[in-house]
């Protein structure tokens, strides 16, 4: 978009919306939309509190443990699917079902299996994140130019070296894309898990704030979580673009 | 002949993978890995019973309502919005970042607020479905419009096509596969939204079945209910995928 | 001043397209064309030939009205070009076929946009599909055709709107050599019937000499007219014999000598850059 003949970066549209929000907030028409400045103040107030710290640390813990497990299991599984047709045929159907399944329905299963607590939230993060990592890794391994492993074998490399040095490295762009999607889904997983478990982390805070009509605090927390989701995804996207240039030469 | 062999082989693999999964489930239930983990056979029996005694029918009669209304709203609004963003730069500039953020963010967190605003009725559940599915539909439609091959646009221009003709005869048909893919993603997200709403806002429909059987420790029934919604989602999405072939006439040929 | 005088005297009534002082500077700052002056005779096949990136496509699109020049103007029978018009049709290098439409609908697309009735446009399309040798493929989809056949569809579409001038941007670039030769001959046969003015862009010296009446050699970027050759081949003989004619061989050599000079200049410029 150009204003007065100058290109304005698209990110500045957010300022426009922030302005609209601020104005609407001051009119007082909707009590659920307090002015953005008030929300910002509330944010500054809740950040130093113990309650917030506890909620954040428990949430981040579930997020990173669940995500870590998803990466640790998802990448080998995906590579195996890309590498071996048998594994692909056997597991493929299920991965494809789970990647688009209503995983919210699985959380109650996790609750009866792991109890109402942190383990369930970790498991729900895992369930939300893993499938897309598996599928993208598989696609990456499958798209490796077959002359690359042939070349490596011809230089006397063994199967394992070829797998780690050629397949995984060549599939890196897709693997990173999978991790990026996984990170985004993991944030959804942690929030949905905590909302359903209901007594944990930021999920509990969301319930608490909305039940007590603390809209400033509610929006402050929500915007922080949104910003976190967006920033992590963009950070991996940045690495992805750095890697892409050698992928294009693949 | 060879083709038929191949497709028969694919079926064999599919059946084998189902057998393996259900076998593993059965064994895990027999051990049992947890007291609340039912065997596959028990779950299957419960599934059949609930299918025939009308529990599923009653539950889905309720669940389908917010799902269908929500997905319809998201589809119309989402396609209109995405197409608009693809066609008008100003509109794109204003809204694109918002939808990118909404797609990446855990919008489920807003549900408590929606409940405060609209109560525990149908409206809240419809909104839960819409907020989950709308961003996907919008962004896919937008991408479809923007990825129209530039030489097709140039071609239309070289024959003095008007902007309207360009939109109707080139841009929209070119975007239709991505728009349809967006609808499919939107329906998938709609399922997530409706289940979440039925578990979180108030138990109704399938959410009620899950919550109720869990509370009285009828684990086979609970697992059967969960399986049913996953099956329904998978069948719906596969059906849409099959339908997608018909969106583009060239795929129908041969 | 001199040039203008020359222009006027050149604009005899057989000139259909005149390119006058065209310059094109792209937004990024690339000067693609500078001071291009050219007259294109009616009813003949004129080729633009030149090193890669010299602005051939740019010039062709400016003539088509798809791009605006930064300076200068193009006139068609004295009328200034301000955009695409019914007197010109374009054949695209990447074919630009609609994958969702059948061959006949693709061919009839120009007529569809101008609001012709379905019978009328399908009748015309059927005729041109037969003329380019695709009879029987009316209901096929582009992805079912080979590259050469797709380009025939593109050509039929351009012919169907009955424009006087056909603009072709490397139409055979993504077609294999045998198909290409066959296509060149078919094109020549077709043009003998249709009596069109054709402006043709190519990379290949042999192709340029073989198909054209007039070859416009463009210099390196910023492109301008370096040389104009008229080939005078006796086309009454078989294609192979045409390619053995002295005229043909001499023209190929002459053009290659000029293009080779550009290459050497490029190399020495690159070498200077490395050293300096
Ligand atoms: N849209 C554009 N924006 C900026 N520069 C462009 C654009 N299109 C072309 N150019 C540049 O203008 C110059 C001429 O381009 P053009 O495509 O006309 O060359 P060409 O002679 O057709 O080349 P080729 O033989 O490779 O097809 C090139 O250097 C190209 O990089
Ligand atoms: Mg070109």
Residue A118: the pLDDT is 92
Q: What pLDDT does A148 receive? A: 78
Q: List the single range of A219-223, C171-175, C198-202 with lowest mean pLDDT.
A: C171-175
CA C52 / ligand 2 centre spacing (Å) = 7
Q: How far is A41 from chain B (nearest CA, A)?
A: 20
Best mutation site among C29, C31, C56 for ligand 1 pocket (most ligand atoms within 8 Å of CB): C56
Taking an 8 Å cut-off on Cβ atoms, the answer to whether B159 and C85 are in contact is no
Mutate to test the pocket of ligand 1, among C33, C54, C68 (most ligand atoms within 8 A of CB): C54
Burial class (CB in 10 A: 0-12, 13-18, 19+), C176: exposed
Three-state secondary-structure class, residue C64: helix
The H or E element that residue A14 is part of is helix A13-27
CATH number for the domain running over B40-253: 1.10.3720.10
Q: Look at residue B155 in the predicted model and tell me its pLDDT.
A: 95
B147: chain C residues, CB-CB within 8 Å: none
B25 vs A: CB within 8 A: no
Q: Which of A118-132, B84-98, C110-124, C165-179 has the lowest mean pLDDT?
A: C165-179
pLDDT (tens digit per residue) in C16-70: 999 999 999 998 888 888 889 999 999 889 999 988 888 899 999 999 999 999 9
Confidence of residue C271 (pLDDT cuts 50, 70, 90): confident
Q: Distance between CA atoms of B191 and B199, rounded to whole angstroms? A: 12
Q: Which of A244, A195, A225 is nearest to A60 (CA)?
A: A225
Ligand 1 environment, Cβ below 6 A: C 26, 28, 30, 32, 52-58, 203, 221
Give me the residue from B152, B159, B176 closest to C113, CB to CB: B159
**Sign of torsion, CA C157 C160 C161 C166?**
positive
Q: Which chains have at least 3 CB atom pairs separated by less than 8 Å from chain A? A: B
Question: In B, residues 125-184, which contact A (CB 8 Å cutoff)?
Answer: none
pLDDT by residue, tens only, chain A of 250 residues? 566 566 778 888 888 999 998 998 888 787 788 898 999 999 999 989 998 999 999 999 999 999 999 999 999 999 999 888 889 988 999 999 999 899 999 999 999 899 888 999 999 999 999 999 999 999 999 888 778 777 877 887 777 787 777 887 888 889 999 999 999 999 999 999 999 987 788 888 888 888 888 889 999 999 999 888 888 888 888 888 887 666 554 4
The pLDDT of residue B213: 93
**How far is ligand 2, taken at its centre, from the CA of residue C171, in Å?**
10
Residue C198 has pLDDT above 70, yes or no: yes
Pairing of strands C165-169, C197-202: parallel
In the structure, do chain B and chain A come into contact, i.e. share 3 or more CB pairs under 8 Å?
yes
Q: What residues 208-247 of chain A have any CB closer than 8 A to a CB of chain B?
A: 209-211, 213, 215, 218, 222, 225-226, 229-230, 233
- Sheet containing C197-202, strands listed edge to edge, beginning at the edge strand earlier in sequence: C88-91, C165-169, C197-202, C45-49, C214-218, C225-230
pLDDT confidence of C274, banded at 50, 70, 90? low
* B226 contact residues in A (CB cutoff 8 A): 105-106, 108-109
Rounded mean pLDDT of C165-184? Answer: 85
**Domain ranges, ordered by start, for chain B:** 1-37, 40-253
Per-residue buried b or exposed e for A96-130, using 16+ beta carbons within 10 Å of the residue's own CB: bbbbbbbbbbbbbbbbbbbeeebbbbbbbbbbbbb
pLDDT at res. C9: 40
Q: Tell me the C-alpha to C-alpha distance, in Å, between residue B203 and each of A125, B208, B212, B235.
A: 23, 4, 8, 24
pTM of the model: 0.88
Per-residue pLDDT of chain B (254 residues; tens, 9 = 90+): 455 666 778 788 889 999 999 999 999 999 888 888 899 999 999 999 999 999 999 999 999 999 999 999 999 999 999 999 999 988 998 999 899 888 888 888 888 888 888 888 899 999 999 999 999 999 999 999 998 999 999 999 999 999 999 999 999 999 999 999 999 999 999 999 999 999 998 889 999 999 999 999 899 999 999 999 999 999 999 999 888 777 776 776 54
Token duo for residue C50:
């030149």
Burial class from Cβ neighbours inside 10 Å (0-12, 13-18, 19+) for residue C245 reads middle
Q: Which residues of chain C neighbour B162 with C-beta distances below 8 Å?
A: 113
Residue C29's Cα: distance from chain center in Å? 26
Report d(CA C229, CA C236) in Å as an integer: 21
pLDDT the model gives residue C6: 40
Number of H helices, E strands in chain A: 12, 2
- pLDDT, tens digit, for every residue of A5-25? 667 788 888 889 999 989 988
- C-alpha distances in Å from residue B165, one per residue of B155, B180, C113, C122, C231: 12, 21, 7, 19, 42
């Amino acid at each position: 978009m150009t204003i007065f003949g100058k290109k304005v970066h698209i990110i500045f549209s957010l300022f426009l919306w922030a302005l609209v929000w601020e104005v609407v907030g001051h009119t007082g028409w909707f009590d659920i939309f307090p002015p953005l400045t008030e929300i910002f103040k509330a944010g500054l107030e809740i950040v130093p509190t113990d309650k917030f710290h506890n909620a954040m640390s428990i949430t981040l813990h579930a997020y990173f443990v669940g995500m870590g497990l998803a990466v640790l299991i998802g990448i080998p599984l995906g590579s195996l699917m890309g590498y071996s047709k048998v594994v692909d045929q056997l597991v493929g159907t299920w991965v494809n079902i789970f990647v688009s399944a209503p995983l919210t329905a699985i959380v109650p299963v996790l609750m009866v299996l792991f109890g109402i607590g942190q383990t369930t939230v970790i498991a729900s993060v895992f369930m939300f994140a893993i499938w897309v990592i598996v599928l993208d890794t598989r696609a990456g391994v499958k798209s490796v130019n077959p002359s690359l492993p042939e070349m490596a074998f011809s230089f006397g490399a063994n199967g394992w070296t070829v797998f780690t040095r050629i397949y995984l490295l060549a599939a890196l762009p897709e693997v990173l894309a999978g991790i990026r999607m996984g990170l985004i889904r993991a944030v959804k997983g942690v929030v949905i898990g905590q909302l359903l478990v209901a007594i944990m982390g930021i999920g509990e805070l969301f319930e608490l704030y909305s039940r007590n009509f603390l809209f400033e605090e509610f929006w402050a927390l929500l915007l922080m979580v949104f910003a976190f989701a967006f920033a992590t995804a963009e950070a991996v996207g940045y690495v992805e673009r750095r890697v892409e240039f050698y992928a294009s030469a693949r | 002949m060879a083709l038929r062999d191949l497709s028969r082989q694919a079926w064999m693999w599919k059946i084998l993978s189902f057998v393996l999964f259900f076998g593993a489930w059965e064994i895990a239930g027999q051990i049992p890995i947890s007291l609340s983990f039912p065997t596959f056979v028990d779950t299957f029996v419960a599934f059949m019973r609930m299918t025939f005694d009308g529990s599923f029918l009653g539950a889905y009669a309720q669940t389908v309502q917010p799902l269908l209304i929500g997905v319809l709203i998201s589809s119309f609004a989402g396609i209109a919005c995405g197409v608009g963003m693809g066609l008008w730069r100003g509109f794109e500039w204003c809204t694109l970042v918002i939808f990118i953020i909404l797609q990446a963010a855990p919008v489920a967190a807003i549900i408590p607020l929606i409940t405060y605003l609209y109560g525990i009725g149908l409206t809240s559940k419809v909104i839960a479905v819409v907020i989950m599915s709308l961003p996907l539909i919008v962004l896919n439609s937008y991408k479809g419009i923007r990825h129209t091959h530039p030489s097709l646009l140039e071609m239309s221009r070289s024959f003095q096509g008007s902007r309207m003709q360009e939109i109707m005869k080139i841009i929209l048909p070119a975007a239709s596969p991505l728009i349809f893919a967006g609808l499919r993603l939107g329906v998938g997200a709609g399922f997530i939204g409706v289940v979440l709403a039925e578990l979180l806002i108030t138990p109704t429909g399938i959410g009620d079945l899950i919550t109720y059987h869990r509370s009285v420790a009828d684990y086979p029934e609970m697992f059967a209910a969960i399986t049913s919604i996953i099956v329904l989602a998978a069948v719906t999405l596969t059906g849409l995928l099959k339908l997608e072939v018909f969106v583009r006439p060239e795929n129908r040929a041969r | 001043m001199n040039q203008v005088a020359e222009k006027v005297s050149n604009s005899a009534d057989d000139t259909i397209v005149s390119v006058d002082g065209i310059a094109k500077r792209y937004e990024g700052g690339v000067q693609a064309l500078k001071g291009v002056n050219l007259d294109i005779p009616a009813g003949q096949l004129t080729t633009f030939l030149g090193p890669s990136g010299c602005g051939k496509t740019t010039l062709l699109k400016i003539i088509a009205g798809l791009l605006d020049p930064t300076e200068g103007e193009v006139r068609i029978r004295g009328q200034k070009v301000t955009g695409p018009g019914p007197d010109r049709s374009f054949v695209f290098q990447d074919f630009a076929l609609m994958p969702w439409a059948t061959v006949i609908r693709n061919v009839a697309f120009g007529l569809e946009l101008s609001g012709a009735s379905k019978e009328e446009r399908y009748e015309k399309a059927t005729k041109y599909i037969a003329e380019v040798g695709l009879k029987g493929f009316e209901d096929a989809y582009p992805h079912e055709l080979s590259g050469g056949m797709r380009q025939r569809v593109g050509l039929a579409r351009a012919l169907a709107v009955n424009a006087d001038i056909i603009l072709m941007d490397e139409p055979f670039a993504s077609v294999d050599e045998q198909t290409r030769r066959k296509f060149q001959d078919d094109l020549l046969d077709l043009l003998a019937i249709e009596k069109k003015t054709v402006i043709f862009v190519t990379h290949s010296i042999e192709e340029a000499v073989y198909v054209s009446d007039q070859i416009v050699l463009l210099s390196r970027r910023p492109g301008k007219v370096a040389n104009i050759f008229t080939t005078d081949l006796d086309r009454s003989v078989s294609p192979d014999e045409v390619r053995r004619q002295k005229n043909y061989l001499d023209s190929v050599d002459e053009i290659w000598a000029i293009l080779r000079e550009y290459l050497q200049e490029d190399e020495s410029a690159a070498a200077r850059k490395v050293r300096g």
